[in-house]
Amino acid sequence: MQATGQIIAEAPSTVRSAVLKPSFSVEPLSPAIGVEIGNLDLTAPLDDDQYAALRAALLKHKLLVFRDQDISPAQQVALARRFGELETHPVFPHHPEHPELVMLGGDSKIPGRENIYHSDVSWRERPSMGSMLRCLECPKVGGDTVWVNMAEAYARLPEATRNALDGLLAVHDLLPAFGTRMSAEEREARRVAYPPATHPVVRTHPETGERVLYVNEAFTTHLANYIEKNDVRFGFDFRLAEMDLLQHLYRQAAVPEYQVRLKWRPNTIAFWDNRSTQHYAIQDYFPARRRMLRATIIGDKPV
């Protein structure tokens, strides 16, 4: 079994970073996931050594947190683009000058609805590699975000459960989570533009080789081939067993031992590896405001 956190198939920049001494500090936030990066000014472009060291840190720790980074929207876009091509989200509102930035947060009348464990845009054929989320405004108390190490969640499943997941495929869909925000005409258009995507229940991380549990309760609707992989007596047997298995897998994200909880402050940036994590935005602050800008980096097709 692949050990969690071991890098076995590194990108060239990551291999090069292994011999570098990072110029920034790294402070663990929890045993399972996340570090705070210090002594690094993100208003200046990353040089090649900083980029390589940060990418290696992201692969190892899965969540990087930067405090007191008073950067502009343009600088946030440039920083995120250093790690890959950026997507434009089809539902969330965009920054008026930078469509790559989505604006997240409700107001005194509309609460946020991201309080569900999820992996961003898993409904895409190529879900995101990662996201950079910057806090513009947040309450003094409340509004934390939880991240989960889903490689650890998979590694600590019982062996019999891991064996049962081999070869299973899950269907991920945009509309169950976002369809209520749309008119009937918009839902029809989005269904054509973004049909459900099918991904392995357990994906292999393309850079570390880790096995990652890759279903989430926000976007994963059902298993595409459960009945092909399991013997059942009757139709309701199949459906109930499939639902029970999915519910069990969803609940793995809620295990505290796999998590870290971040308290936001203005000008905090969180950068996470979306291929190996899930997150949950805690909605305990309404009607106070929490305003965020997120840049999302396009990833690869899960295998």
* Three-state SS at 35: strand
Q: Is the peptide bond before 287 cis (omega within 30 degrees of 0)?
A: yes
Cα–Cα–Cα angle for 111, 116, 119, rounded to 5 degrees: 120
- Among 130, 24, 139, 134, smallest CA distance to 72 is for 134
Residues 6+ apart with CB under 8 A from 3: 155
At 274, list the tokens: 């979306």
Active site residues: 118, 120, 279, 294
In terms of C-beta density within 10 A (0-12 exposed, 13-18 middle, 19 or more buried), how is residue 220 classed?
buried
Q: Distance between CA 4 and CA 26 in Å, rounded?
A: 19
User: Which amino acid is residue 265, in one-letter code?
Assistant: R
User: Which amino acid is residue 31, in one-letter code?
Assistant: P
- Among 33, 24, 111, 114, smallest CA distance to 69 is for 24
Helical residues (DSSP H) of 110-199, grouped into ranges: 150-155, 159-165, 175-178, 184-193
Q: Distance between CA 131 and CA 104 in Å, rounded?
A: 13
